[in-house]
């Protein structure tokens, strides 16, 4: 059975952001209290620690329910079958490093509160980024998605949880090749975008990746697997894969240069970075940053860019951040 890290591994080797509340080993007693349905899926592993079978989709979803209830005041959270059930600690890292990015241009102070607004491109059925950003920093969000069922699920989560009421709005993107057009209207502004791109280039590639992941978890070869964290086709793959997806985002961001302070996107494949940097140079982004994140042996990163000049940044902060 696949297991979660031991307590020693979790506290010393995860490399998670210092403000990430998931740096320590999971307290399953507290998690079961928050989500009693998790109890039957918790067992004692070879290290004599409590754990779950990470290859079991039901166990993973219940763990997420427990984490969201325990750490983020989300008492009602569910997603439709086969939709992406994201790993909470990694998603939280993105949010905390993004907060540091905002602080880096704000005299070291993280801008907080409902006036600070983000656009989650591909909010999904799970609505996890808005949940974390709202709880940790009080931010408000627009969530966009091309999947109507995902938007419906995210809206159900928003309505069911007071933390998110009147702070998160979901919008259906009817044009599948656009990111900002049809979502940000006129002079509407957001302080940042956040995005978890589909990184496979085809359904076949996504299936291969799913089989490999589950095989690693189970310690044996698995074919035609049901991925433990799920995922619809639009969540897992797009034509051209991650690099094409981000290239199109960069191209469109030029037309919305004054609508957003920091555009950001996760980049799962390091080999895509050089192409991204070339694209950003061609569109003359005024500043580009790459922020690395580490969870155990896994290293990921997100790329951030802005078109605002120093003078425009000062004006933006005075208008929206009270600086």
Residue 16 has pLDDT above 90, yes or no: yes
How much is the pTM?
Answer: 0.87
How does strand 50-52 pair with strand 42-44? antiparallel
Q: What is the pLDDT of residues 27-84, one digit of tens each?
A: 999 999 999 999 999 999 877 889 999 889 999 999 999 999 999 999 999 999 989 8
- Please answer whether residues 124 and 80 qualify as being in contact, where contact means their C-beta atoms are separated by less than 8 angstroms: no
Residue 235 confidence class, pLDDT cut points 50, 70, 90 = very low
- What pLDDT is stored for residue 1 in this prediction? 40
CATH topology of domain 79-321: Rossmann fold (3.40.50)
Q: Residue 181: what pLDDT?
A: 97
pLDDT digits (tens, 9 = 90+) for 295-307: 878 899 999 999 9
The mean predicted confidence, pLDDT, of the chain is 87
Integer Cα distance of 280 and 101 in angstroms: 18
Domain ranges of the chain: 79-321
Q: What pLDDT is attached to residue 199?
A: 58
CA pair distance 182, 184, nearest whole angstrom: 6
Question: Other CB atoms closer than 10 Å to residue 275's CB: what's the count?
Answer: 14
Side-chain-side CA neighbours of 214 within 13 Å: the count stands at: 20
**Strands 260-267 and 42-44, how do they pair?**
unpaired
Which tens digits make up the pLDDT trace of 93-107?
999 999 999 999 999
Residue 282 CB neighbour total at 10 angstroms? 11
| CA gap 2, 218 in Å, rounded | 6
- Which helix (DSSP H) or strand (DSSP E) does residue 203 occupy? helix 203-218
Lowest mean pLDDT among 10-19, 133-142, 213-222: 213-222
CA nearest to 290, candidates 313, 256, 267: 267
Whether the pLDDT of residue 6 is over 60: the answer is no
305, 266, 303: which is closest to 284 by C-alpha? 305
By mean pLDDT, which of 12-21, 78-87, 141-150, 298-307 is the weakest? 12-21
Tokens of 212: 């490999």
CA 266, CA 293: separation in Å to the nearest integer?
10
| C-beta of residue 196 within 8 angstroms of C-beta of residue 264 | no
Task: Give the CA count within 13 Å in the CB-facing half-sphere of 224.
Answer: 0
> In this structure, are residues 265 and 195 in contact, taking their beta carbons and an 8 Å threshold?
yes
pLDDT digits (tens, 9 = 90+) for 177-220: 999 999 998 899 999 999 999 854 545 544 444 444 444 444 54
Token readout for 45 is 């592993």
DSSP string, 124-155: TTT-HHHHHHHHHH--EEEEEES-HHHHHHHH
């Amino acid at each position: 059975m696949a297991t979660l890290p031991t307590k020693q591994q979790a506290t010393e080797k995860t490399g998670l952001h210092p403000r990430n509340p998931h740096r320590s080993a999971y307290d399953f007693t507290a998690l079961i209290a928050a989500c009693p349905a998790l109890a039957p899926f918790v067992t004692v592993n070879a290290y004599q620690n409590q754990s779950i079978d990470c290859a079991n989709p039901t166990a993973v979803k219940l763990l997420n329910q427990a984490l969201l209830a325990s750490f983020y005041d989300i008492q009602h959270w569910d997603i439709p079958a086969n939709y992406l059930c994201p790993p909470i600690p990694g998603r939280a890292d993105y949010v905390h490093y993004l907060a540091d990015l905002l602080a880096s241009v704000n005299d070291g102070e993280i801008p907080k509160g409902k006036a600070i607004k983000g656009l989650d491109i591909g909010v999904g059925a799970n609505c996890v980024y808005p949940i974390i950003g709202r709880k940790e920093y009080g931010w408000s969000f627009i969530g966009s998605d091309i999947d109507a069922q995902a938007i419906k699920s995210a809206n159900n989560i928003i309505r069911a949880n007071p933390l998110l009421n009147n702070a998160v709005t979901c919008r259906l993107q009817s044009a599948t090749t656009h990111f900002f057009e049809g979502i940000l209207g006129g002079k509407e502004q957001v302080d940042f975008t956040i995005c978890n791109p589909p990184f496979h280039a085809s359904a076949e590639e996504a299936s291969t990746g799913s089989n490999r992941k589950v095989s690693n978890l189970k310690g044996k070869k698995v074919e035609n697997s049901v991925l433990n964290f799920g995922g619809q086709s639009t969540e897992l793959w797009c034509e051209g894969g991650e690099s094409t997806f981000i290239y199109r985002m960069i191209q469109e961001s030029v037309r919305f240069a004054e609508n957003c302070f920091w555009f950001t996107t996760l980049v799962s494949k390091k080999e895509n970075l050089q192409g991204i940097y070339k694209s950003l140079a061609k569109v003359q982004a005024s500043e580009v940053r790459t922020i690395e994140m580490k969870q155990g042996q896994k290293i990921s990163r997100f790329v951030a860019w802005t078109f605002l000049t120093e003078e425009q940044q000062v004006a933006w902060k005075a208008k929206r951040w009270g600086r």
